[in-house]
Structure 1
Amino acid sequence: MNDFVVVGGGVIGMLTALELADGGASITLVERGQCGREASWAGGGIVSPLYPWRYSSPISRLSAWSEGFYPSLAERLLESTGIDPEYRQQGLLYLNVEDAETALAWSEEYAKPLTRVNADFLYDKAPAVAPGCDSALWMPTLGSIRNPRLGKALRAALEAHPRVRLLENVAVKGILMQDDTAIGVQTANSVLAAGQVVVCGGAWSREILSEAGMALPVRPVRGQMVLFKAPKGLVERVVLKNGRYVIPRADGRIVAGSTLEEVGFDKTTTAEARESLVKSACEIIPALAECEVEHHWAGLRPGSPTGTPFIGAVPERRHLHVNAGHYRNGLVLAPASTRLLADQLLGRTPIVDPVPYQPVTLLAQTPSEDATTHWA
């Protein structure tokens, strides 16, 4: 019997397994499909909330820790697996920011480099940006990562780890409980016994935990993205305007996103979204109008009522834990949220105060079940 069963093989689940295994625990990670192929694969890979000053302090604390950790994580994965997650720290240009003064005040409070720059600076950093911008905000320390490659590298690292057993294409049917204590999980064909269970099921976490009697308020929120086959060097850094963004990859390709759609567990792509995403991307970088749209896809974010993830012990259930509900910031917060949970499970000093993320705390702040259709 392993020390832990981790349910869910996205970046959150894989990093949770890696953290626990590095801490000396034995892990079985079980994933209903292939690891790293849901929201972890579908996102853009910006290692920051899009507009970080518009988020709560708990999000900012996790984000700051994660941003500092990503360079060493990417280096470790490249060295140990040979797969480069392509961490790039080329900065972010914000165009057309209405609350710039709030942003600059936030940067001072959190000691995060953010400055107002003029047109000369903007077009020196990003010559392909649409003409007519007289100023921008510049965050030089922002990084991005190629999240599909991050997922591949994490999977390879877990496969090679002596304390980890990786089970893919195995659906969890429910949490096994004995006297309000989790003792493992039930799959279609077997029982996976464990000392403790950790649910990292992303948008599916609510369904997984419902069998244990917990109504976790996490729901799927569809996001659609497009990928342009652009010439290398057209864009070198992330550019954000009016909530839409372009993200360059090392090979020249450019990701543009994204939509926010409340459509349940539907990952269908739509012509309307594609048209809107292409239009927004071309408004930022006009030359993209001449580039091929190579791919168009959708993923399901794990939405939560306040945007703060549930990290910690499930109320009134022993040995059952959750790390889910990161909404738009799963990749951003993954290193910090998984370290925070591992700290608690392994009896270490937490990297930040765990109370704001504990399910018992967040459930007291969330709407009732009758109000779920009104979540923002």
Structure 2
Amino acid sequence: MQPTSKPHNPNFSSGPCAKRPGYDVSALTLDTLGRSHRSAVGKKALGLACSETARILGLPEGYRVAVVPGSDTGAIEMAMWSMLGARGVDVLEWESFSAGWVTDIVKQLKLPLVNVLKADYGDITDFAPVNFDNDVVFVWNGTTSGVKVPDGDWIPAHRAGLTICDATSAVFAMEMPWDKLDVVTYSWQKVLGGEGGHGMLILSPRAVERIEAYNPAWPLPKVFRMKSGGKLIEGLFKGETINTPSMLCVADYLDALKWAESIGGVQGTIARSEANLKVIEDFVEANDWISFLSKSKATRSNTSVCLTVKASEDQVKKMAKLLEAESVAYDIGAYKDAPAGLRIWCGATVEQSDLQALMPWLAWAYGQVTQSVSA
């Protein structure tokens, strides 16, 4: 039977993600619109985006936060092009975006001493061989595979190289061992449901030391430059952005930060995301035709939840189209490079009740595409 109750918000895309509950664009503080980002009011808003991020995340003393161009991609590229090459590199690959960082390191930067540790979709690389005398580049959460790093126990407190972590679908949804992470990048449009185009770059004091002491052999585009005269450009970490940001997006991000704090800060956003995952876990346990792509519960993502279905690739695509046509779930097909399946965002901005309403629709859609074949 076709369910009668639908999710109030059918937006389950893995990016841009659903806006926070109760979101109203007219409620944003918009005194920065039409003003220069270099004006006092512009600098204040951008400075707050940096300082409030650090405060709410509970970053260690001395960690710096900047708003940079190009979303998470721009932030991680900025870090790699500015810091890699000083020593060997271990790069971990187990899904599409981490594969992209391998390509950049091997084929674009063409670094000579690179060790690629690779795993297939659904698995995660073995951490035991990682050489921390090298710089280590990895994603915390594989957005296209639904596989996350379970913890930071594998990272030594004392290490010669830097840890450079793309954590775009993990920050604000997973526990991050900040003292073991030297560079962390993420984007606004993921867990907090912000707008696209802007990246966040978090640097430890060790990362700052690398930037100031090391000069890459290649030229750096302006949007990647973080130092002048051999010193870090401190203004960048106080809201003095490299290029012109969208002040509307900044206002939207500040609104999202306020919401996160209102529900208990990082612990509150993590709890919401984990509760959302539990809805899908219960459904999968009760239905043998659907499974998690992640092969281990310990590495199962609680944001980008990737699922496999006992059906053909064409049937799975038809399921997603049916659900969209019924205005039940938008944009839940697997990522283009990933195995065929469904990908349902379970970050903090998604309501648990919406996921509960969605689950019967998954069963209905599966029945529709499989019965049509058997008939």
**Range into which the TM-score falls when normalised by the shorter chain:** under 0.3
TM-score, normalization by structure 2: 0.26
| Greater RCO, 1 or 2 (C-alpha within 8 Å, sep 6+) | 2
TM-score, normalization by structure 1: 0.26
The structure in which a higher percent of residues are strand is 1
